[in-house]
Structure 1
């Protein structure tokens, strides 16, 4: 690029494409393909929401797919002008923030899985998973969002968005930390279930657990989490060097480790949707989940404390199948 020409004044006749925000001319075919795929995924999740009313999960996935569509629309715009500031802004904020919402949707599934196998087998009560991981996801989003804004402001002044990239790196790193904790807790719960044996699992959900749909849902969730984890690790490596680093300017790596990974996540969560996986048990699971007290209430964080309170009430006819109605009443009375 000529020294007299700033990046904001660049055109095809004045600057090499290597001097653009992307460092290359984004592939039109690749980005149109991803835009179409995420549009299909968005439509599928919308239809599945209307069918199964999986509100929290579906809203997260729909927002994520919509952000991906906007991000790839930005990259298509960059095909005609890789120096376009709006194209750069749309891409880094759309594609950069979308996985945060995908993660939130996946996090929400663990609470219901715990209930299906038996809340009494969990170290912490089911609502802890929801509140803890959604809070972590909000923190990750709060960190990443300013990073995207600062990157855009730096770019609008013709400067390399280094500071914004480093802030984004902090947000993605926190997201990987949260994903790792989720995997550890999910694995720990699985081990507790295996050690307890099928006889200790909640009998009301035996039909749901033994169904092919539920097994496929679990497999799809594992696939989606693996894809999200791989993408997030790639993103850390990419942002360590900033938006002008080697990985940020490698379109093939971006295609495989960003685009393909999130496509796998989007379609795995649609094809093996929780509404289908839990089937007719979904409303009962939702009802049972609502009966648990908020985890910050007294004696309401660990299941052993809830079960101890239940044991104190077992001599009374006021206890339901799990004792949760009475436990919540007693917990509230202790505050």
Structure 2
């Protein structure tokens, strides 16, 4: 990395525009491509084995991460390529929104499987709809803003940055609300004598959800700070921050859902109740 000189002067043939203020690390990108590739293979296998289709967005997010870091390998060899830059920028940016979509669908499934949907402050029927809708809005805003930022035009990039920040704030807002609702549900579950046995089974899924939510929230805050700071600020100039506050955190989210499978007995019970028509959500 140190042997490369990046020309940011207006006479560099691109009006001074450069995709990065550092030369993308080949080794770091390769490591994370391999890590996410292995994890995606395991997640895909389990997805089909357990038929946990609600986790499809999450698995697509893992693939986004893998291809995104492959784009950084391309940028290492072809620094000024807009194609590689757009690929890595958009896919790495958007992957956590896909993780969030599946995580939002987890809470209602936990509540229904534990026969405790009455402890939710929002009906289980609407819980997933509300938060996934917010996640879609966040995803679309970040997609649109990321596309504008990747265009290379300074004015368009500035507008795109503001749109991305708006999308990230939407993501943070809905994540914060989701954590509050999940915490209240957990508290009510702990206080409910009729759910003592069920709460023991559900505890690991709830704590896994908290862990994943927390990491995605930290990552989103990092991205907001990154975009608030000047284009040539320390976060943009030091690639290590990307790997510490984005790649590593998102890899931890992917791994925790390998350790604690988002399927198993708890979700078999959810499916059983669903198949038996025992949800009665429309009457609550």
TM-score by length of 1: 0.75
Structure 2 CA distance for partners of 1:77 and 1:284, relative to 1, 3 Å? same
Structure 2 CA distance for partners of 1:209 and 1:3, relative to 1, 3 Å? closer
2:204 and 2:189 map into 1 onto residues whose CA distance is: 19
- Pick from 77, 80, 100 the counterpart of residue 83 of structure 1: 80
Provide the residue aligned with 2:3 in structure 1: none
Would you say 1:225 and 2:241 are equivalent positions? no
1:123 and 1:143 map into 2 onto residues whose CA distance is: 28
Structure 2 CA distance for partners of 1:135 and 1:66, relative to 1, 3 Å? same
Q: Runs of 5+ in structure 1 lacking a partner?
A: 11-18, 294-299, 301-305, 308-335
Provide the residue aligned with 1:241 in structure 2: 229
Would you say 1:192 and 2:188 are equivalent positions? yes
Instruction: Provide the aligned C-alpha RMSD in A.
Output: 2.4
2:179 and 2:154 map into 1 onto residues whose CA distance is: 41
Give CA deviations for 1:54-78 in whole Å, capped at 9, x if unaligned: 1012x11111011111210111111
* SS of equivalent residue, structure 1 residue 274: coil
* SS of equivalent residue, structure 1 residue 173: helix
Provide the residue aligned with 1:105 in structure 2: 102
Q: Runs of 5+ in structure 2 lacking a partner?
A: 1-6
Provide the residue aligned with 2:176 in structure 1: 180
TM-score by length of 2: 0.88
2:204 and 2:118 map into 1 onto residues whose CA distance is: 24
Give CA deviations for 1:224-250 in whole Å, capped at 9, x if unaligned: 111111111111111113654431222
Alignment map for 1:239-318 (pairs within 5 Å): 239-241=227-229, 243-276=231-264, 278=266, 280-287=268-275, 291-293=279-281, 300=282, 306=283
Structure 2 CA distance for partners of 1:166 and 1:269, relative to 1, 3 Å? same
2:154 and 2:134 map into 1 onto residues whose CA distance is: 33
Provide the residue aligned with 1:120 in structure 2: 118
> How far is 1:121 from its partner?
2.1
Contact 2:121/2:181 (CA < 8 Å) preserved in 1? no
Give CA deviations for 1:172-227 in whole Å, capped at 9, x if unaligned: 111000000000111111222223x232x2x9xx4x6544xx54333322221111
- Bigger Rg, which one: 1
